[in-house]
Structure 1
Amino acid sequence: MSDSSPQPSSALPSSAPKRWGIGLNVALQILLILAIFFGLNRLSYRYHVRWDLSPQQSYTLSANTTNYLNKLSKDVFIANVFARDAKIFPDVQALLEEYRLNGKGRIKLRSIDPLRDIDRAEALKAETGMALDQNGVVIRAGGRTRFIREEEMVIRDTGTESARPIKAFRGEDAVTSAMINLIEGDGRKFYLIVGKGSRTEAALADALAALGELGRQQNFKLMPLNFAEINGVPEDADGLLFAGIRYDLSEREIAMLKAYWEGKRAGLLVMLDPAGETPRLNAFLGLNGVTPREDRVLFAESTGAGVRKEFSVQAIFDNESPITQPLSTSTIILPGQSQSLDVRFDDEYLQKQNILVHPLIGATDRYWGEKNYLEELPIVDEEDHKQPIYLAASVERGSVADERLRVDSCRMVVVGNSYMLDKKSALAVNRDFVAASLNWIVNREKLSGAPPKLKHSYRIQLNSRQNELIFWITTIAMPGLVLVLGMMIWASRRAA
């Protein structure tokens, strides 16, 4: 009797190959995802675009700085030696990061908190030989080191000496100037003319201190020079400074000045004292297109409280000159007394002599040049000088259109005010103008600086109802919404 029970079918194929295939497919997918992930990150690191969305473009370097960084010839080390709780630490760190990103690999950046990273701070002190006893930025290039103090990177508002709020951040100007000075090497040499009197001894001391500080920052040496003791301007002079002299030059001294100015390369910064008796010096300036006037720039009016006579002049910068273009968004106040300048920038004779004259600072509309400035209530009349009122001008002799050939031109800046560097009344923008003028005189326009970034403070006032609404939204509603969404996801997974 045959066995009719069903024969067992052949064994089912093993599922092991199928599992291995799935595992290999997953592994390949993971490897591909990782390759795409790291590849995209690598591409975004090397080729990326950054946007500065701040209203004042606070995190964008100026064109002068970026152009210079693109042509760096030496490696530069920068250390941000700021305490993390310093008010301008975020601004400094963001600024220096921009330098690193635009430095084409030549800028190395390190951030050191002297209060927390004590060992690294001490090591940096040993390397640089500097005390580093305050917040600042260390820059090393070409075997030379420069420490930029915190106060050099800010402009403070008026107020008490102990608590003056920061009005603007000028870190880019300070860092770029220091970097160029370190790479440039030996500083230029300016001679300050002495022995011709001054308003006061304190005013002369203030001018010397201010110019000495500028020299340290802008990499030039300041030396005193008495015309009465020499027979000619020293050959190593990159420029001569006349800071508010009271007494005129003699005929012999004027001849020395003319011989220097008519040479191949000369530089002059003349800050006139309106009360000075300097007819020969004024005549020399007039021959070059800038004639000081016998007046005082002022504003006067009669008010209910009496006569108001204002000698401090609020003025604006020219926006075309390389000296003042970076400062054109700022206003300047010239303290003390100022005299106006007759600036002949459209004189055909001067143009034939290859002398280019350009106004730099002009008084705002309410000021005029008053000849009878000693009157109790001066009023504008026919003999007074009306707008435009120029307070500073530049003169360039031997200028040519090609910037590469202008290195041998003679340059001069004339200012109808000698109070700009007084310690008690000088503003940071006054210092910036003088620094830019000196750099232009020695053909270093790239050191004229970047405009400061203004710091804005905003106050939001909320009433009790608005404060209560913010509390309920941030403390109850938002966490509650997250909790509800989490419970909904948990419940949907449980149901599946």
Structure 2
Amino acid sequence: MSSTDPKNDQAPADAKAKEPKQGAKATRMRSAAHAANTSVQIGLLVVIFLVANFGAAKWFIKKDLSPNEQNTLSETTRNVIDQIDADTRIITAFSQNSPDFQRVVELTELYDDEAGTRVSSEVLDPVRNPTRSREISAKFNHEFTGNAVLIIQGDTMREIPEDELFHLERNRQGEWVRGAFGGEDAITSTLLELESEQRRVLYIITGKGPWPRTPKGSGADTLATLIAKRQGVEVRELSLTDITEIPADASAVVVANAKYDFNGAEIRMLHRFFEERKGGIITLLNPEASLPNYYAFLRLYGIDPVPQVAVTRASQLGGNDATIFEVPVDFVAGPELTDPFLNIDATFPGRSSHLIVDEANDELFRRKISVAKVAISKPEFWGESTPAATPATFDAATDTDGPLTLAAIVEKRSVEDKKLGVRSARMAVIANPHLLDPTTLTQENVDFLFSAISWSMGQSSMIGITPAQPSIFKLTLKEGSQGTLTWVICALMPAITLIIAYLVWQRRRA
């Protein structure tokens, strides 16, 4: 007869009783560990998020991804900002209800970001902040009469009214009206004016034949209106008939589309202005004019205008070739003037003549005169002696093979050491009078001509391309399409997000 030990029977029973307790304890420990791990991960994510945001706020790189980099200051503006020495404050004195308020504020903030501590921006609503308004009014004797940008430098303040922040364009009646936003041009030209000792004056020489007029005005009107708006330069007309010297306040003169030649006294005036007073001369030659005295003046400085018209031939439907006068140009690397234009496609409209440029003349070098080509035609263009012939045909005996020089510059240095800061005399010659004709106006030609004027006046910081204008695209939706778009944004997209989240959760559970 066998007997059973009660102690031996109790041991398995106790072990079985402990197993559920140990399993539950292990489960609780795993849950606690999982919760702790999750908490640590969440905490680390929060810390990483805070550190990343703090770092991004302190150290960051800006990249303008907008079309044409319309939210980036132009190279011209950056050059002007680099020259600012005194502390400058730009105040956007606009009503917050103005439709232009936001973009003006954003523009002034770009100046603040670019210049660092030298330029600061401020937003002021004169109605909502009368205390600050009275402070400015008392200090600068200024009356707030409308929206404006105020630029303060030391004890000097300049006001840019709202209308001057916009470019002027001609309507169908030929009247100047408010056009695209040009706030950067207006602010930059005002900053340049504050940095200059005095406002520069540009004279347009008249009495040598007017620029052709169109229902939209003339090139002279365009020059006077646009350059004053863009570069803060005062533009005046000047007749050489009854004077003996070019006015003392002249920084440069423009000889554009002259049809009648200059007499000896007028040439001597230009010579003294250029040689002795270091004045700038900008010439836009008329290819159909004969100006022997003026051409002789230009030859003194290594530029010889050729009485030929730049042309090429192109086939057209029907088999007959056509004569092409509009000249695509390439800008020549090297001169300071052309640096911003090397990758720009530009076309000189209308008819152009061409120039012979004597860049290797020892006599010019001895006189400290340097001459350089800045714009040339495509190789397929040639200088045609008889442009009336249809179609034009190249004649090696009488015509000039391409590429042709369409623009050149001259610089007469006063001293060898540029560090002394003595201004040199500068001249720009362009073999085309149509760059500012209202009917053929292009931004590339305006930029090039204005840069040539700035260079001739010694304003190298203003050489460059104007800021790109923002393009506005309008999307029109029908009523049914608007409803569909609303459902996609408010229902479908959130639903897709929830479905993805549910699938991820199910996978993690498995």
Return 5+ residue gaps in structure 2 as ranges: 1-45, 476-483
Residue 323 (structure 1) aligned to one of 330, 333, 337: 337
What letter is aligned with 1:54?
L
Q: Secondary structure at the match of 1:241?
A: strand
Show the 5 A alignment for 1:198-237.
198-200=210-212, 206-213=218-225, 214-237=227-250
**Is it true that 1:188 corresponds to 2:200 in the alignment?**
yes
Give the aligned partner of residue 429 of structure 1.
Answer: 444
Match status 1:385 vs 2:385: no
Matched, 1:479 2:487: no
Check 1:367–1:130 CA distance in 2 against 1; reply closer, same or farther (3 A cut): farther
d(CA) in 2 for partners of 1:145, 1:294? 48
**CA distance in 1: counterparts of 2:96 and 2:237, whole angstroms:** 39
Match of 2:316 in 1: 303
Q: Partners in 2 of 1:481 and 1:233 — Cα distance? A: 75
CA distance 1:380–1:473, shift in 2 (3 Å):
same
Out of 17, 41, 60, the position equivalent to 1:49 is 60
- CA shift for structure 1 position 374: 0.8
1:144 to 140, 158, 178: 158
Q: Classify the secondary structure of the residue corresponding to 1:388.
A: coil
- CA separation in 2, counterparts of 1:137 and 1:365? 48
Q: Distance in 2 between matches of 1:429 and 1:138?
A: 30
Bigger Cα displacement from structure 2, 266-275 vs 208-217: 208-217
Say if 2:311 and 2:392, in contact at 8 Å, map to a contact too. Answer: no
Once structures 1 and 2 are overlaid, which stretch shifts more, 75-84 or 282-291? 75-84
Once the two structures are superposed, what CA deviation does each residue of 1:428-487 show, in whole Å capped at 9, x if it has no partner? 222222221221112110122445448789999xxxxxxx9xx98995475244367479
Structure 1 residues 330-369: aligned runs within 5 Å: 330-369=344-383
Q: Rg larger in 1 or in 2?
A: 2
1:281 Cα offset (Å):
0.1
CA distance in 2, matches of 1:210, 1:328: 25
Deviation at 1:220, TM superposition (A): 2.2
Equivalent residues of 1:362, 1:391 under 8 A apart: yes
Q: Cα distance, 1:325 vs. partner?
A: 2.0
Tell me the SS of whatever aligns to 1:392.
Answer: strand
Alignment map for 1:5-404 (pairs within 5 Å)? 45=57, 47-52=58-63, 54=65, 59-61=71-73, 65-66=77-78, 68-69=80-81, 71-79=84-92, 95-110=107-122, 119=127, 129=144, 131-132=146-147, 139=151, 141=153, 142-147=156-161, 152=166, 172=184, 174-184=186-196, 186-200=198-212, 206-213=218-225, 214-305=227-318, 306-382=320-396, 383-398=398-413, 402-404=417-419
Deviates more, 1:353-362 or 1:146-155: 146-155
**Distance in 2 between residues matched to 1:145 and 1:184, nearest whole Å:** 17
Shift in Å, 1:204: 12
- Distance in 2, matches of 1:96 and 1:138, equals 11
SS at match of 1:103: helix
Conservation of the 8 A alpha-carbon contact between 1:264 and 1:408: no
Alignment TM-score, normalising by the size of structure 1: 0.72
Equivalent-residue separation in structure 1 for 2:162 and 2:356 (angstroms): 39
Aligned 8 A contact 1:177 1:449 in 2: no
CA deviation map 1:176-204 (0-9, x unaligned): 33322244353112222222223546699
Aligned length, in residue pairs: 439
| 8 Å CA contact 2:70, 2:467 repeated in 1 | no
Q: Distance in 2 between matches of 1:295 and 1:229?
A: 33
Sequence identity, in percent? 25
The 1-side partners of 2:296 and 2:368 are apart by: 19
TM-superposed CA distance for 1:343, in Å, is 1.5
CA RMSD of the aligned region, Å? 4.7
Q: Tell me the secondary structure at the aligned position of residue 59 of structure 2.
A: coil
